[in-house]
């Protein structure tokens, strides 16, 4: 089945450590995105990528980094510079802008807790 896979589902990190969240898609989508969601709130865009080897900052990129070396993969690193990293992280993908399909497909999320 086609879809987006995020791993791990739960992640615990010690303060001061970097951690990388995985996102893989087999939908052949060019565009991929990372969101952060805090309890009871909506989604905020961290980074997005429209094509391999290119990515752009979203609304809350500080303390995060990404790479896009392959079309299928868009890993997110939460660095020690992120002041409040405990949150639910969601990855999504979509056809490029202008494509017929209009929906974004989301993964099941990774819940990161800093201990």
Q: Write out the residues near other proteins by the rule CB under 8 A.
A: 4, 31-33, 35, 40-43, 45, 48, 50, 58, 88, 90-98, 101-109, 111
Rounded-to-integer distance, Cα 62 and Cα 12, Å: 20
Q: Is the CB of 75 or the CB of 109 nearer to other proteins?
A: 109
Q: How far apart are CA 104 and CA 8, in angstroms?
A: 21
DSSP per residue, 15-52:
TT--EEEEEEE-S--SEEEEEEE-TT--EEEEEEEEET
Q: How far is the CB of 80 from other proteins (least distance, A)?
A: 26
Query: Toward other proteins, which CB reaches closer, 14 or 97?
Result: 97
Task: Report the residue number, 48 or 64, with the smaller CB distance to other proteins.
Answer: 48
């Amino acid at each position: 089945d086609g879809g987006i896979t995020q791993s791990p589902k739960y992640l615990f990190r010690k303060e001061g450590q970097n951690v990388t969240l995985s996102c893989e898609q087999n939908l052949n989508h060019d565009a991929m995105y990372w969101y952060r969601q805090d309890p009871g709130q909506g989604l905020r865009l961290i980074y997005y990528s429209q094509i391999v080897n290119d990515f752009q900052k979203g609304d809350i990129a500080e303390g995060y980094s990404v790479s896009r070396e392959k079309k299928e993969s868009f890993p997110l690193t939460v660095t020690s510079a992120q002041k409040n990293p405990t949150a639910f992280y969601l990855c999504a993908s979509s056809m490029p802008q202008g494509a017929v399909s209009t929906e974004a497909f989301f993964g099941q999320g990774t819940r990161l807790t800093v201990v």
